[in-house]
Structure 1
Amino acid sequence: MKFSDLHPNIKIRICTDFFTDLTQKTILPFMAIYLSTQIGAGWAGVFLTVNILASMFAGLGAGYWSDRIGRKKLMVLAQSLQVFALICLATANSPWMNSVPLTCFMFLLSSISSGITVPIAGAMIVDVSSEKERQYVYGLQYWTTNVAITFGALLGGLLFEPFRFLLFSLVCVESIATLLILIFCIHETMDSHQHISTDLTKKIRRTTLANTSNKARKSNLSNVINTYRTILKDHRFMVFFTATVLAISLEFQLDKYIAVRLKNEFTAELLGFHVSGLHMFSAIIMINTVLVALIAIPFAKWISHLNSRTIITVGLLLYTAGFATLAFSNWAWLLIASAGILTIGELMYAPVRQVILAGIIPDSNRAAYMAADGLSYHLAALLGSLGLTVGTFIPSYMMAGLYLSMGLAALYFFRVSLRAENGRQQNLSYVDAS
């Protein structure tokens, strides 16, 4: 498999996503620090919570309607909203204006735009790729994302506070370029969506044309509600879903509570250089993403001989211990070591999580279950924002204890999910043998 063999849409999306991630990661991880400074940590947590909810509901609506009116139309609309929001963000942080309310409102619009784009871009890649290509495509995306995050964190740590206007302006230029590429280079892929038959497509189009009627709107809403109601009744999946939310919510603590705590509490002399909390936060992100980018593949081969239960147990214990240490320690070398430890843990548990997911979702409702799994990331981000608010009322050692409890609970639920999946495979083997 070669990059040149991929569909043009995929090649374009991988390239544009790299630069989008690179520029946005110079801003997004540092917004919690900015907001906590301007409006207080408590209100910052509330605002970030609202942001996550708005992005989540925007994504649900976008995923539903992209199958009805097309991928490209909604992506262009969302990117246009992104350009508008970023122009206003740059203006609100320019030498001529310093408006916190305008910054907050435009950051909300930017989050809504991202919420619309992410599920549609994912669906577009599935539309034009084969099963054999997807492993290569997603692996390439995983690598480019981590490389972009690495350099984005470095630029953000150096430029966010002293040169915020320049930073927002660079992101705005990149967003305009992406919009032009979407308009002139990206092709509509909805017609190649293999999961919708011709008759069903015609029915959807007729429904879309008639969507001004109350009956059509109620029917659409009823279909969505019934689908997710069925998923909520799937006990095995919901146990897995709970474990995912708890585990990933620790990751979302990094650029919220942990970032703010380091800025307020940490300062040190390291190798003859003065290191601020903001610099240490950038270093932690860089260690995490560089290690993932460099050792993910060889490390996966090295632990492949271990069974899934052992990998996920050791991995989550390391992952949890690393985040718990970041929650209270102000010793520079221990923070650096913890960043490496949690990264090793992430590399161990994350692939097993995907294996468990693939085994517990039914083939007949795969897309709906994958969409529900995507909601776990939004809920985890929500807990991350709430953690920033909770951290204003309790000391750091109690936050560390809370992280330990969340990580151990996630481990328990993952092991329950893995046990249920192993039991299902044994039953299937028995049936096949019969």
Structure 2
Amino acid sequence: MKYADLHPNIRIRIITDFFTDLTQKSIIPFMAIYLSVQIGAGVAGLLLTVNIVASMIIGLWAGYWSDRIGRKKLMVIAQSLQVLALLGLAIANSPWMDSIIVTCLMFLLSSLSSGITVPIANAMIVDVSSEHERHYVYGLQYWTTNIAVTFGALMGGLFFESFRFLLFSLVCIESMITLFILVFMIRETMGNRAFGSDNQFNGSGPSTRLMEADNPIQRNILKTYWAVFQDKRFMIFFTATVLAVSLEFQLDKYIAVRLKSEFTSQLFGLDLSGLHMFSLIMVINTVLVALLAIPFSRWMGRFQFRSIMTVGMCLYTAGFAVLAFSNWAWLLISSAILLTIGELMYAPVRQVMLAGMIPDSNRAAYMAADGLSYNVAALLGSLGLSIGAFLPSYAMAVLYGLMGLGALVYFRMSLRKADTQNEHLTYTDAS
């Protein structure tokens, strides 16, 4: 499989998604810090919560309408809104204007644009890819996303505090170029169903009857998801995922704000601010994941699922607990490495567990519900910023420890509920 063999839409999306991720990661993590300084941590957390909820709702709306009027049209509309939002952010933080109200409104508009784009872009990739291509496509996206996160964190750390107008102007220009590419180079894919055996229910019995029409608009969505959320093992797994991933979302919310207000230190003779340390933590995490994910997974092949999950979640939780209260530079760096190792251990196991519990008859519904767990986790991440405005840092560290412990308990409960085949899975099966 080569990059040149992919559908033109996929090749274009991988490139444009890289720059979109670069834009988002140079703004969103640092926006929490900016809003906390301007309007207070409590209000900033509520505002971020509103953004996430609005993005979730409009994402469901966009997924529905994209199956009626097409992918490209809504993607062009969403990207146009993104250009408008970034232009507004640049103007509101320019030498001629400094408006926190306009900044908040434009940030909300940017979040709505992203909420529209993500589900449609994912659907477009499925429309024009075969099953054997998707492993390569998603793997390529994983690598480019990590690279974009790295450079986005560097850009934000260097420019956001003192050169916001320049940063917003640069990402606005990038967004305009993406809009041009979408309008003139992306093709409509809504009618491409040749590869879509996994886009619809293919089993028999009640689950199939819930999805009996080929037209997605005729599907009974409420009954389908009601059946999914009655699956006790999946809901235990869902809860564990929410608790684990919500720790990750604390990094660019409470932890970033705390470092901004509390941290000052020196490293190798250089003065480090809280923003610099936050950027360094982000870079350490992203680079280690990008460089070590594949060789690390092969090395872990000799161990059992339950052991990997237990050790990984303990390291992951301990790393975040230390980040919640420490102001010692070397301890923060060590914690970033620790939580990354934990992430490299537990995350692949989580994916294999998910694949093992999803029935073929309603795969799409289960995957969509799993995606919802990340939205709930992002919501908890924003609420953590508000809670952190009232609790001391050591109390937040205890809270992170309890969340990680809860995630581990629920993951192990999900493993115990597995059938005989899943109980004897090895990590080698995953890789």
Q: TM-score, normalised by structure 1?
A: 0.92
* Correspondence list, 1:35-434, <5 A: 35-193=35-193, 194=196, 195=199, 200=213, 223-423=220-420, 425=422
In the TM superposition, what is the alpha-carbon distance from 1:51 to its structure 2 partner? Answer: 0.4
- Following TM superposition, the consecutive aligned residue runs of length 4 or more in structure 1 with deviations greater than 6 angstroms are none
Which residue is 1:29 aligned to?
Answer: 29
Query: Structure 1 196/392 Cα, relative in aligned 2: closer, same or farther at 3 Å?
Result: closer
Q: Deviations over 1:291-327 (max 9, x none)?
A: 0111111111111121211111111111000000000
> d(CA) in 2 for partners of 1:405 and 1:426?
26
Q: Is the 8 A contact 2:416 2:423 kept in 1?
A: no
Q: CA deviation at 1:426?
A: 7.0
Is the contact between residue 45 and residue 383 of structure 2 (CA under 8 Å) also seen in structure 1?
yes
Partner of 1:214: none
Q: Which amino acid aligns with 2:334?
A: A
Contact 2:124–2:189 (Cα < 8 Å) also in 1:
yes
Q: Partners in 2 of 1:386 and 1:331 — Cα distance?
A: 26
Give the Cα separation in 2 of the matches to 1:52 and 1:252. Answer: 12
After superposition, give the CA deviation of every residue in 1:144-170 in whole Å (9 maximum; x if it has no partner).
100111111011101101110010011
**Aligned equivalents of 1:246, 1:423: Cα separation in 2:** 26
- How far apart are 1:421 and its partner, in Å? 2.2
| Residue identity opposite 1:36 in structure 2 | S
CA-to-aligned-CA distance 1:263-284 (integer Å, 9 cap, x gap):
1111011111111111000000
Q: Which moved more, 1:68-77 or 1:111-120?
A: 68-77
User: How big is each residue's C-alpha offset from its partner over 1:348-394, in whole Å with a ceiling of 9 and x where there is no partner?
Assistant: 11111110111111211111111111111111011001101111111
SS of match in other structure, 2:303: coil
In structure 2, what is the Cα distance between the partners aligned to 1:245 and 1:425?
22
User: Do the aligned residues in 1 keep the contact of 2:200 with 2:364 (CA within 8 Å)?
Assistant: no
Deviation of the 1:196 alpha carbon: 6.2
1:424: Cα distance to partner? 6.2
Q: Hey, what's the Cα distance between the residues in 2 that align with 1:377 and 1:423?
A: 29
SS of residue paired to 2:327: coil
Q: For residues 57-86 of structure 1, give each alpha carbon's deviation from its aligned partner in whole angstroms, at most 9, with x where no partner exists.
A: 111111222222211111111111111111
Q: Tell me, what secondary structure is at the counterpart of 1:269? A: strand
Q: Amino acid of the residue matched to residue 106 of structure 2?
A: M
1 CA distance for matches of 2:317 and 2:131? 34
Contact 2:284 2:336 in 1 (8 A): yes
Distance (whole Å) between structure 2 residues aligned to residue 346 and residue 252 of structure 1? 13
Whole-angstrom distance in 2 between the partners of 1:86 and 1:374: 27
Q: Does 53-62 or 334-343 show the bigger shift?
A: 53-62
- Compared with structure 1, are the counterparts of its residues 426 and 414 closer, same or farther at alpha carbon in structure 2 (3 Å cutoff)? closer
Closer, same or farther in 2 for the Cα pair 1:26/1:388, shift >3 Å?
Answer: same
Gap runs ≥5 in structure 2 = 202-211, 425-431
- Judging changes above 3 Å, is the alpha-carbon distance between structure 1 residues 300 and 425 closer, same or farther for their aligned structure 2 residues? closer
- For the residue of structure 2 that corresponds to 1:275, the secondary structure is strand
Secondary structure of 1:421 counterpart? coil
2:207 corresponds in structure 1 to none
1:118 and 1:278 map into 2 onto residues whose CA distance is: 28
Amino acid in the other structure paired with 2:259: L
| CA distance, structure 2, for counterparts of residue 80 and residue 372 of structure 1 | 29
Q: Identify if the C-alpha distance between structure 1 residues 423 and 61 changes in structure 2 by more than 3 Å, giving closer, same or farther.
A: farther
Percent identity (aligned): 71
- Letter paired with 2:300: I
Deviation at 1:200, TM superposition (A): 4.5
Indicate the RMSD between aligned Cα atoms, in angstroms: 1.7
Letter in 1 for 2:263: F
Match of 1:211 in 2: none
Paired letter, 2:340: T
Q: Distance in 1 between matches of 2:279 and 2:174?
A: 22
SS class of match (1:304): helix
Q: Distance in 2 between matches of 1:107 and 1:354?
A: 32
Q: TM-score, normalised by structure 2?
A: 0.92
Distance 1:251 1:334 in 2: 18
Q: Secondary structure at the match of 2:26?
A: coil
Equivalent in the alignment of 1:3: 3
Partner amino acid, structure 2, of 1:347? L
- Segment drifting more, 253-262 vs 86-95: 86-95
SS at match of 2:96: coil
Secondary structure of the structure 2 residue equivalent to 1:405: helix
Q: What residue identity is the alignment partner of 1:331? A: W
